[in-house]
Structure 1
Amino acid sequence: MSESKLSPLLGSRDIVLHLWPKHKDLLSFDPASVAALLYLQLALPGHFSVAYCANPDLSPSGQLPFLTQGLYHASGLSSIIAFVRRHPNARNLDAGLSPLETAQLTARIAHVDSCYGDLVNHMLYSLQENWIDVTRPALISMLPVPQRYYVPARIRESHKARLEAVELWDVPEVEEEEPEEQRRVVFGKRRKHRPDPEAHHFKKTFNREQVVERARALFDVYDRMLGDDRFFMGNEWPTTLDVLFAAHSHVLLDLQLPDPLVTSALTSYPRLVAHCRSVLSTAFPPNSPFPPTHQQGWLSSLRCLIPWPRTPTSHRSNHAALEGSPEAREIERRYKLWRWGFIAGSLLVSAAYVLYAVSIVLVKDGDVVARIGADDAPDDDDESEEEEDEVGGEGEPEAEADADAAAEE
């Protein structure tokens, strides 16, 4: 797929999809970002651009992916899909489904997002070998300094609670400690409990088998649903379910993880692998151009450090911006006036503060100069005392001479 670069003069009303960056053969490192890209490419080709971003704080909800068009913000895959469906030039991927099939499709989308998403996150963040060799280095390469030193651990920690709840969190190198009453003290130090290697290996093997069984149960359901068809639901064009399922499969198949626990289970279902390739080839046919891409400059690192304010928009203003109506232009004009007014007010307050500080310094310097001048000026009392001392000093030798002459007579 060829990749075109977006002009710097991109209009504010163009649709921009903000995704996690690419990594090797992946369209994006995050399954939700891959799904959003595939959905827009299938439903709205040629009407959007891509901005790779590793700073979730730029999103209104603090999550990637998110979409912007003027003042409109759609954060999260479900909000992005809802936005695309309302677009006048968009193709409805789920058109032609009956109400029952639509309800089933919604339930299956939630099932894939939850169960398949947990398996992919288990591969990326829970398995220690994958985390050390692939996931953490990939995140570090995407993030600027200093975010690369603490954001990967924060992202992993954010997935830990969910994976622990579904019993998919396993870090083999963490050692279990004995209860407080069973600890022994050797030479004044508490000795850590070393688990039995055979028991630890058995536990690890048992946990891995559970993960594989869970993955096979998921793949069995969708393999039967797919059957001999190219896409789910028997359609000739991918549906939202196809896009979401293929996005997760794409991450597992094309990331080349050193511990292919779930990937090995997926490759044993050739129809699901072919389904993933079919969705990707439909969205990006051979020799087709990639959506225009924003070029990231040095300002992107600075933008990660500064907490830029997010733009809150109401439901009414979102639709107005989407349609490009005069009301939307008036809202944008008022927003610009408020923004420049805030900047001008901030500058005036800063200038007033600087002038006030300078005036205080000058007044204090004037007092100091006056005090120094007063200390340097001669005092009249001191001068009179010095004169008396000089007169008294001159008369004492004459008095002593008269006294010596009288004594001699």
Structure 2
Amino acid sequence: MSSAVVVHTTPPLTPLPASDATSIRLLGILRLGGLSPDVTTADWSANGKPFITLDNIAIQERYLSSIPGWSDPDHALSAEQSADSLEWKAFVDGLVTDLVNHTMYSLPPNHPFLAGAQLATCPFPMNHYVPHRIRSIHRNRLRAAGMWGLGGGEEGDDSDTQRKKLADSVVVAPGGTKAERAWSGWGSGREVADRQRKFGEEALRQRARSAFDPLARKLGEHRYFYGKQPTSFDIALFAQLTLVLSVAWPNPLLANLLRDSYPTLVAHHDRVLKKLFPGGWGTISRLAPAPHPTLVESVRLYLPSWLGGPSAEGEKKKEAKDPRDIDTQKRLQRGRYLWFLGAGAAFISYILYSGLIEVHFGDDDDFEEEEGMDEWTVNVEDDDPFASLVYEDDDE
């Protein structure tokens, strides 16, 4: 019986099966290793990041060798080539990724196009904040790299741009008096915007050249970067470029630059695409995602049980459907008990050996009578010894 391998990706972006490079790279690594995994959209409520499962068990990328039938595409690389491949992967992650994210999240016409695909798979209430949080993460990164807003970014998202715009709208006289700048015609604002856009596009081209020129020289006239067969580095670069070349973006600034100035990299992308998916993106087997909860069901999840929310017994029954989950829970419970037992023993040992608490053991003879302690004597010769109980300090 063959094992079921599934890649849980971010929402699809026509014609791509996912809207991020990591999902496409994982899918490409499995296809290049000889597998044909199914694809489904990751559960946003549980884990919005792409991951791989084998028979419903999540597998990290470093353990892909445990999947039956998968072969490492880098097995033929020498030690020197493996080290060189790691360096070039870091190069792609540092430069090419920023250029791709700029196309997807910074350019105003492109982000609404991407957000539409993300919202289509987000259940309520995540569809109101998940796409904005994803964009804010990339915006912070692009701002740190100095790329946010290049080539026509949204001015409303940048407070520095707003302050500059307000500063340019007034004229400061020598005495400090401020006056509004005189209107210079209907096209004055449009001309300024066009100049800013052209300046941003040229700055973006310079950054693209610094990223793609070394890659083009590395590839040269070869089919792939390391021999006659693609490796994991070819997949890593392909996953970034296909987000730009395969999608019909409203503003294809980076795609046009690649097709005009770097035909060898575009040919490499097409070659890897044909190698992985001979019939195109439409040949990918995609599983139907789990149905989204309705508004009433979503609200019930946040209600206590006495108001109609989910009960603890119902959750336990739901978790106990799979016998493997029951065994896992038992192992985890035993592990927790052992951990607490070991922690308690270690704590008690520390208290005793540190001297915070001293414990003495001795016989009754070791205790000496304290000075000034009152003494009682009993006359054992009397018939009633308690009747002759005498207190020695008594004057009588």
Same fold (TM over 0.5): yes
CA shift at 1:36, angstroms? Answer: 1.0
Q: Distance in 1 between matches of 2:119 and 2:182?
A: 33
Indicate the residue corresponding to 1:202 in structure 2: 195
Q: Is the 8 A contact 2:8 2:51 kept in 1?
A: yes
Segments of 5+ residues of structure 1 without an aligned counterpart are 1-9, 185-189, 308-328, 341-409
Indicate the residue corresponding to 1:126 in structure 2: 106
Indicate the residue corresponding to 2:12 in structure 1: 22
Instruction: Identify if the C-alpha distance between structure 1 residues 138 and 292 changes in structure 2 by more than 3 Å, giving closer, same or farther.
Output: closer
1:176 aligns with 2:162: yes
Q: Distance in 2 between matches of 1:177 and 1:169?
A: 16
1:97 aligns with 2:77: yes
Indicate the residue corresponding to 1:253 in structure 2: 245
Instruction: Identify if the C-alpha distance between structure 1 residues 333 and 214 changes in structure 2 by more than 3 Å, giving closer, same or farther.
Output: same
Higher relative contact order (CA 8 A, sep 6+): 1
- Give the total of aligned pairs: 293
Amino acid at match of 2:79: P
Counterpart pick for 1:282 among 241, 250, 275: 275
Q: Is the 8 A contact 1:71 1:332 kept in 2?
A: no
Counterpart pick for 1:240 among 229, 232, 235: 232
Indicate the residue corresponding to 1:111 in structure 2: 91
Instruction: Identify if the C-alpha distance between structure 1 residues 68 and 224 changes in structure 2 by more than 3 Å, giving closer, same or farther.
Output: same
Counterpart pick for 2:132 among 153, 162, 168: 153
Alignment of 1:301-380 (within 5 A): 333-337=326-330
Per-residue displacement from partner, 1:121-140 (whole Å, max 9, x unpaired)?
100101112113x1222222
Greater Cα shift, 297-306 or 267-276: 297-306
Q: Which SS does the other structure have where 1:91 is aligned?
A: coil
Instruction: Identify if the C-alpha distance between structure 1 residues 287 and 50 changes in structure 2 by more than 3 Å, giving closer, same or farther.
Output: closer
Indicate the residue corresponding to 1:187 in structure 2: none
1:45 aligns with 2:35: yes
1:65 aligns with 2:50: yes
Q: Distance in 2 between matches of 1:167 and 1:300?
A: 41
Q: Distance in 2 between matches of 1:181 and 1:291?
A: 53
Larger Rg over CA atoms: 1
Q: Distance in 1 between matches of 2:15 and 2:94?
A: 25
Q: Is the 8 A contact 1:130 1:257 kept in 2?
A: yes
Q: Distance in 1 between matches of 2:182 and 2:49?
A: 41
Indicate the residue corresponding to 1:262 in structure 2: 254
CA shift at 1:213, angstroms? Answer: 1.3
Instruction: Identify if the C-alpha distance between structure 1 residues 49 and 219 changes in structure 2 by more than 3 Å, giving closer, same or farther.
Output: same
Per-residue displacement from partner, 1:128-179 (whole Å, max 9, x unpaired)?
12113x1222222232333223222111111111111111111343352369
Q: Distance in 2 between matches of 1:194 and 1:72?
A: 67
Q: Distance in 1 between matches of 2:182 and 2:102?
A: 26
CA shift at 1:106, angstroms? Answer: 0.5
Instruction: Identify if the C-alpha distance between structure 1 residues 287 and 24 changes in structure 2 by more than 3 Å, giving closer, same or farther.
Output: closer
Greater Cα shift, 95-104 or 287-296: 287-296
Instruction: Identify if the C-alpha distance between structure 1 residues 248 and 289 changes in structure 2 by more than 3 Å, giving closer, same or farther.
Output: closer
Q: Distance in 2 between matches of 1:271 and 1:335?
A: 51
Q: Which SS does the other structure have where 1:218 is aligned?
A: helix
Q: Distance in 1 between matches of 2:179 and 2:154?
A: 20
Per-residue displacement from partner, 1:240-260 (whole Å, max 9, x unpaired)?
110011111111011111111
Q: Is the 8 A contact 1:44 1:90 kept in 2?
A: yes
Q: Is the 8 A contact 1:18 1:50 kept in 2?
A: yes
Q: Which SS does the other structure have where 1:51 is aligned?
A: strand
Counterpart pick for 2:288 among 282, 289, 295: 295
TM-score scaled to structure 2, two decimals? Answer: 0.64
Amino acid at match of 1:145: F
Q: Is the 8 A contact 1:216 1:265 kept in 2?
A: no
Alignment RMSD (CA, Å): 3.8
TM-score scaled to structure 1, two decimals? Answer: 0.62
Indicate the residue corresponding to 1:31 in structure 2: 21
Q: Which SS does the other structure have where 2:6 is aligned?
A: strand
CA shift at 1:334, angstroms? Answer: 2.5
Instruction: Identify if the C-alpha distance between structure 1 residues 92 and 115 changes in structure 2 by more than 3 Å, giving closer, same or farther.
Output: same
